[in-house]
Amino acid sequence: MRNGWFRIVISMRDTFGNCIVELARIRDDFVILDADVAGGTGTKLFRSTFSDRFIQCGIAEQNMMSVAAGLSTTGLIPIVTCYAVFASMRAIEQARNSIAYPNFNVKVVASHLGLDVGPDGPTHQAIEDISIYRSIPNFKIVAPADPNEMKAVFPVILNSYGPVYLRTGRSPLPTFLNKDIKFEWGKGQILLEGDDVTIIAVGVMVYRALEAAKRLEKEGISCRVVNMSSLKPIDRELIIDCAKKTRVIVTAEDHNIIGGLGGAVAEVLSENYPVPMSRVGVMDCFAESGDAKELAEKYGLDSKGIEKAVKKILKI
Amino acid sequence: MNCYAGSGHPGGSLSAVEIITYLFHRELNFSINNYQDQNRDRFILSKGHSCLTLYAALAQKGFFDKKEFKKLRHINGMLQGHPDRLKTPGVEFNSGSLGQGFSFALGCALGGKLNNKDFRVYVLLGDGELNEGQVWEGFMFGAFHKLYNIVAIIDNNRFQSDDLNTNITALEPITEKLQAFGWQVIEINGHNFEEIANALERAKKIKGKPTVILAHTIKGKGISFMENNPKWHGSLAPQGEERIIALRECEMDGLEL
């Protein structure tokens, strides 16, 4: 699984942009909706290559969400693209009432997640989007961990009916998962086996969790690392299995610790197999402008932050 | 229907009766035989709270039995307090949150244009609904994408939930605003079938821009004590003496409730 680390470094938004161009060459059933942020969400190449399937909506995300619902009744699959703060807050009531409640086949693809946004600062750092979308019926949520997984996810979401919220990402990411990785709704993947603690991570935090596990291994702490890219539905069986096997769980997400991955895992554990757990994430505060790497370090979201959480819960 | 439910929005439902009746019985290529066909004409009630009139039209067109009226707004009924496409056959969209039905309709019209389909899209908005910012995002969108195949009809009954529109916010001048947004505007008496028919015909002849019909109407039309009285916006139904008067004025004296 770890062969080829650092082989390719590309952002998830650009990977998404390449995916839709490649898919558009072989299928003509989807359109891209943009709110004047094509450069930010990775759809620029699509815009220049398939201009007739690129729908400019202007800086008007609320209208864009409801327009997408209407488009979906005409035999097209609309893919709404914008920043996560707007997809999950500015236009969330439209996502709920225009898309989720009537159950239309619309895919919402959001970039600019968590502190990974960096210098734009807290107005653009979405730390609530998983929590918000998770509480809306009919929406499924997926956050791939690397470019290879993004390529595996995209055809799956286009081939299954229903509303989906997909998280991409802004910073360049190493490609570390297998090229032939499969994605299945409701299935997490064990990337590394271990006995002492399970680190369940999502998005940019998966690679950091693997880095932390590698260092902890040298200190004699054996970590199981799980990529929980399917946030909803979530892999209940795997979470319970992790609790039974390692008896301690740490979650890691570039998101508020309230209501996101940590919240989802805690819900499963508390109802089925309660074990001690610790949540790595943004500690219910607004962050600040800065380089994404420096922010991750300052707010405890880097591999060292995960390492620290593991040691703390194991009382080492 | 309103009396069975014990609540609802009679005022704005009554102002839209002629518009909805004309569309369903004379205009739309929409029936129980084609309502799931992608090429159907579409009617979207963006002012979803006025669904009493939509439900009456759908029942009249055979989408469901009129006995469903008794279960309107009640548990296990198919007729929800605001339209629900998954529960009620013939309903296009789950409107009720104002502004969204209009944008949804724009999406339908754009899809028709992109797919070279010749269906038309009709969407009914309230004048109070124009308070919503999303509506103006939609007007910009419709003009930019040259959606010649959509007709937005504004039920201009001059009242919104609490009071006259003009006592709530600076809505006027509606016509000039819509023209400035790049739409063709046709003003009519929304209770006159001939004027409705002529406006819909005129809309078909315009190429390259969308049409809005500003239909001047009377809120609570047909029930003397409801007319032009914001109290009857909703959510309520007439009781006692008022109920007897309302039923008499609707020529439904014999109805057992």
CA distance B206 to A207: 57
Domain spans, chain B: 2-249
pLDDT of residue A50: 98
pLDDT digits (tens, 9 = 90+) for A167-198: 999 989 999 999 999 999 999 999 999 999 99
Nearest CA in chain B to A69: B104
The pLDDT assigned to A100 comes to: 98
Residue pLDDT, tens place only, B7-58: 999 999 999 999 999 999 999 999 999 999 999 999 999 999 999 999 999 9
**Partner-chain contact B106 A97, CB within 8 Å:** no
Which two structure tokens, joined as six digits, stand for B219? Answer: 């809120």
- Read off the pLDDT of each residue in A224-231 and give the average, rounded to a whole number: 98
Mean pLDDT of A21-35: 97
One-letter-per-residue 3-state SS of chain B: CHHHHCCCCHHHHHCCHHHHHHHHHHHCCCCCCCCCCCCCCEEEECCHHHHHHHHHHHHHCCCCCHHHHHHCCCCCCCCCCCCCCCCCCCCCCCCCCCCHHHHHHHHHHHHHHHCCCCCCEEEEEECHHHHCHHHHHHHHHHHHCCCCCEEEEEEECCECCCCEHHHCCCCCCHHHHHHHCCCEEEEEECCCHHHHHHHHHHHHHCCCCCEEEEEECCCCCCCCCCCCCHHHCCCCCCCHHHHHHHHHHCCCCCCCC
Residue that the structure tokens 């001047």 belong to: B216
Could A74 and B138 be called an inter-chain contact, meaning their C-beta atoms sit closer than 8 Å?
no
- The answer to whether B115 contacts chain A (CB < 8 Å) is yes
The number of residues in chain B equals 257
For residue A7, name the pLDDT band (cuts at 50, 70, 90).
Answer: low
What pLDDT shows up at residue B251?
85
Q: Which CATH number fits domain B2-249: 3.40.50.970, 2.40.30.20, 3.40.710.10, 3.10.580.10?
A: 3.40.50.970
The pLDDT confidence band at residue B169, using thresholds 50, 70 and 90, is very high
- Report CB contact under 8 Å: A60, B140: yes
> How does pLDDT run across A129-169, given as a tens digit for each residue?
999 999 999 999 999 999 999 999 999 999 999 999 999 99
The tens digit of pLDDT for each residue in B178-231 reads 999 999 999 999 999 999 999 999 999 998 999 999 999 999 999 999 999 999
For B107, which of A58, A60, A69 is closest by C-beta distance? A69
| pLDDT-based confidence at residue A3 (cuts at 50, 70, 90) | very low
According to the model, what pLDDT value does residue A105 have?
98
Mean of pLDDT values over A26-50: 97
Contacts of A62 in chain B (CB under 8 A): 99, 103, 133-134, 137
Task: Give the pLDDT confidence of A256-287 residue by residue, as tens digits.
Answer: 999 999 999 999 999 999 999 999 999 999 99
CATH numeric code, A9-174: 3.40.50.970
Residues of A near B (CB-CB distance < 8 A)? 31, 52, 55-58, 60, 62-76, 78, 93-94, 97-98, 101-103
Q: How confident is the model at residue B252 (pLDDT cuts 50, 70, 90)?
A: confident
Pairwise CB contact (< 8 Å): B103 & A67: yes
What does the pLDDT read at residue A9?
84
Rounded mean pLDDT of chain B? 96
pLDDT higher than 60, residue B72? yes
Do A66 and B140 lie within an 8 Å CB cutoff? Answer: no
Residues of B within 8 A of A75 (CB-CB) are: 38, 111, 115
**Average pLDDT value over all residues in chain A:** 96
For residue A6, the model assigns a pLDDT of 53
What pLDDT, on a 0 to 100 scale, did the predictor assign at position B255? 76
pLDDT-above-90 percentage for chain A: 96
pLDDT at B225: 94
Q: B interface mutation test: which of A65, A74, A101 has the most B CBs within 10 A? A: A74
User: With 80 as the cut, is the pLDDT of residue A47 above it?
Assistant: yes
Q: Do B134 and A93 touch (CB under 8 A)?
A: no
Q: Using 50, 70 and 90 to split pLDDT, how confident is the model at A84?
A: very high
Q: Which CATH architecture has domain A189-313?
A: 3-Layer(aba) Sandwich (3.40)
Could you give the angle at which helices B100-114 and A61-71 cross, rounded to 10 degrees?
Answer: 50
Instruction: Tell which of A66, A82, A105, A138 to mutate to test the B interface (max B CBs under 10 Å).
Output: A66
Q: Where are the domains of chain A?
A: 9-174, 189-313
Tokens of B41: 């004409």
